[in-house]
Amino acid sequence: MNLRTVPPVEKTDYDYIIIGSGIAGLNTALLAQEHGSVLILTKGRIEDCNTLYAQGGIAAALGPGDSAVLHMQDTLTAGAGLCDPEAVSVLTREGPQRVANLIQWGVPFDTIHGQIALGREGAHSMPRILHAGGDATGQHIETTLAQRVAQSSITVLEFSLATKILVEEGRAYGVEARDTASSRTLKFTGRYIIVATGGGGRLYRFTTNPEVATGDGVALAFNAGAAVMDLEFYQFHPTAFSMEGSPSFLLSEAMRGEGAVLRDNQGRAFMSDYHPLADLAPRDVVSRAIAAEMESSGGGPVRLDISHLPADTVQARFPTIYSFCMEHGVDITKEPAPVAPAAHYMMGGIKTDVWGRTSLGGLYGCGEVACAAVHGANRLASNSLLDTLVFAQRVVASTLGDAPEPATPGPSPDGPAYVAATLTQRQLVCASAPALSLESLQDLMWRNVGINRNGQRLLLSARILQLWQRTMPKPEDLPSFELANMVLLARLMVEAALLRQESRGSHFREDFPQPSEQWEKHVVLTKISTSQEDAT
Catalytically active residues, by annotation: 283
Q: Which residues have CB under 8 Å from 40's CB, separation 6+?
A: 18, 19, 20, 21, 25, 26, 29, 46, 149, 154, 155, 156, 157
Q: Which of 418, 404, 415 is nearest to 374 (CA)?
A: 415
85: left (phi over 0), alpha (psi -120 to 50) or beta: alpha
Asked whether 224 and 526 are in contact (CB, 8 A), the reply is no
For residues 105 and 129, is the Cβ–Cβ distance under 8 A?
A: no
Helix 384-399 to helix 137-150 angle, to the nearest 10 degrees? 30
> Measured in Å, how far apart are the chain's first and last C-alpha atoms?
49
Q: Alpha-carbon distance 294 to 292, whole Å?
A: 5
Q: Is residue 222 helix, strand or coil?
A: helix
For residue 518, which of 412, 387, 417 has the smallest C-alpha distance? 417
The secondary structure element, H or E, covering residue 234 is: strand 234-241
At 220 the three-state DSSP class reads helix
CA nearest 235: which of 504, 10, 43?
504
Q: Cα-atom radius of gyration of the chain, to the nearest Å? A: 22
Contacts of 243 (CB under 8 A, 6+ apart): 301, 328, 330, 338
Instruction: Give the list of residues 6+ apart from residue 261 with CB closer than 8 angstroms, or none.
Output: 269, 271, 279, 304, 305, 306, 308
In contact, 231 and 489? CB cutoff 8 Å? yes
Three-state DSSP class for residue 138? helix
* Residues contacting 267, CB < 8 A, separation 6+: 303
- Show Cβ contacts of residue 439 under 8 Å, excluding neighbours closer than 6 positions: 205
Closest CA to 99 of 394, 366, 389: 389
* 25 close to 16: Cβ distance less than 8 angstroms: no
Q: Give the Cα separation of 179 and 161 in Å (integer).
A: 7
* CB-count burial class (<10 Å; 0-12, 13-18, 19+) for 2: middle
> Which strand ranges, in their side-by-side order, compose the sheet holding 228-229?
370-371, 349-351, 228-229, 521-526, 417-422
Whole-number Å distance between alpha carbons of 177 and 154: 18
